Amino acid sequence: MTVGETLAGCLLITGTPGAGKTTVSQLVAERLPRAARVDGDVFGIMLVSGGANMLDEEGRWNPGPDGQHQLRLRMINLCSVADNFAEAGFTPVADSVVETREELRFIAGRLRSRPLMLVVLCPPLEVARHRNATRAVETRVDYDFAPLARNQRRELGDLGWWLDSGEQAAEETADLIVAEAARRAVVPESVLGS
C-alpha cells in the first residue's frame, strides 16, 4: 500500500482480551488516510441501565440469555456504525471479540461493507495475559480467557489472518496489517454464507 491509499471494505480485528485489538486498531486507523475505529465495547458501555452481567457466580465469562442477546445487539450496532463510516468513505476498523463462526456469519450477514477482512491477533496466551495484567486497571479483565482462546482457534482457525503479535511492537503489527490485510485477511463470501 502506498501513502494516501485507503483500504476498501471493513477491517475486523479480533482476538482475546489483552491480545491488543484496541491498541492495534487505533494504530491501523491512524495509518490510513480516512478511517474510523469502531470499538465493539463502546456499544456495551452505552447501556446506562439493564446491562446484563456477562460473568457467572464463579467469575467466568458465561453470559446468560439476556447477555447473549445484548452481545448480539453490540454486533448489530457495530455493523451499522461501520457501514455508515464506510458509506461516507472512511475505512471502518472494527475492534471486537468474535468467538464463534456463527458470530462471524451473523456479523457478515448484517454488514454491507465488503470485502470483510478478519485479523485475529493471536499472541501466545501468556503474552495476552501479561498484556492484560499490565494495562490500565480500568481496561483489565479478571476472568480466565483461555477457554475463549481455544474456542476462537477451533471455530475461526481456518479463516482470516491469524497474526501472532507476541514478539512485535504494536506499531509493527499495525504496519503489517495496513500493508497486507487486503491480501491476507479477506474472508471469502462462500464461507460467510451470503
Ligand X SMILES: Nc1ncnc2c1ncn2[C@@H]1O[C@H](COP(=O)(O)OP(=O)(O)OP(=O)(O)O)[C@@H](O)[C@H]1O
Q: Can you give the binding site for ligand X, defined by CB under 6 A? A: 15, 17-24, 41, 97, 131, 135, 139, 141, 165, 168-170, 173
For the chain, the residue count is 194
Count CB neighbours of 3 within 10 A: 6
CA distances from 183 to 45, 90, 113, 165, 179 (A): 34, 19, 17, 18, 9
| Residue 14 binds which entry of ligand X, Mg ion, none, CB below 5-8 Å type-dependent | none
Q: Which of 145, 180, 142 is nearest to 161 (CA)?
A: 180
CB of 79 to ligand X, least distance (A): 18
Nearer Cβ to ligand X (24/178):
24
CB-nearer residue toward Mg ion: 57 or 138: 138
> What strands, in cross-sheet order, belong to the sheet with 116-121?
35-39, 91-95, 10-15, 116-121, 161-163
Q: Which residue number has the CB closest to Mg ion?
A: 22
> Which residue has the CB atom at the shortest distance from ligand X?
20
141 binding partner (options ligand X, Mg ion, none; Cβ < 5 to 8 Å by kind): ligand X
Residue 160 beta carbon to ligand X: minimum distance, rounded to whole angstroms: 15
The binding site for Mg ion (CB under 5 A) comprises 21-22
Cell of residue 59, nine digits: 467469575
| Binding partner selected for residue 165 from Mg ion, ligand X, none, CB under the kind-specific 5 to 8 Å limit | ligand X
Of ligand X, Mg ion, none, which one sits near residue 173, judging by CB under 5 to 8 A according to partner kind? ligand X
Cβ atoms 139, 33 nearer than 8 A = no
